[in-house]
Amino acid sequence: MRMQDVAGRLGADVDTLAFEWGTPVVVDDVKTALAKKDYDLVAVVHAETSTGVENPVAEIGALLKDKKAIFLVDAVTSFGGMEIRMDDWGIDALYSGTQKCLSCPPGLAPLSFSDKAVEKLKNRTDKVPNWYL
């Protein structure tokens, strides 16, 4: 829920799909939500640290293939230890940290952006409200 909290504090209108603790995202619920509304951003945690749940990132990315939404993936727990295929899975923005699966000192944040995400960033008209990524 941290992504929801950060986005809300920055003024975003946030819709959240909640699932039972320790269970993965239900793809059909995402599909239903996407049918009801156009989103600018869809975000998911690839692997949840405390439960080890892996969310169906590839399947969610497939739902977004023809949508304008940027697909953001939190890969803090999974980067370096689980398969991640940005292009194949339709991921537009991915971030991680060095302190978990990479077993490196904390403080660095590997990032990757698709051409779609870079274009969105280049064309923004509002100033960035702060320096927090």
Cα→Cα distances 52→23, 47, 49, Å:
9, 6, 5
pLDDT at 125: 92
Q: Where are the domains of the chain?
A: 2-7+25-30+38-122
The domain over range 2-7+25-30+38-122 is classified in CATH as 3.40.1190.20: no
Running along the chain, 133 residues long, what does each successive block of 10 average in pLDDT?
A: 87 93 97 97 96 97 97 97 97 96 92 97 89 67
pLDDT at 1: 76
The string of DSSP codes covering 114-131 is -HHHHHHHHT--SPPSSS
Q: Could you report how far apart the first and last alpha carbons of the chain are, in Å?
A: 16
| Rounded distance between C-alpha atoms, residue 65 and residue 62, angstroms | 5
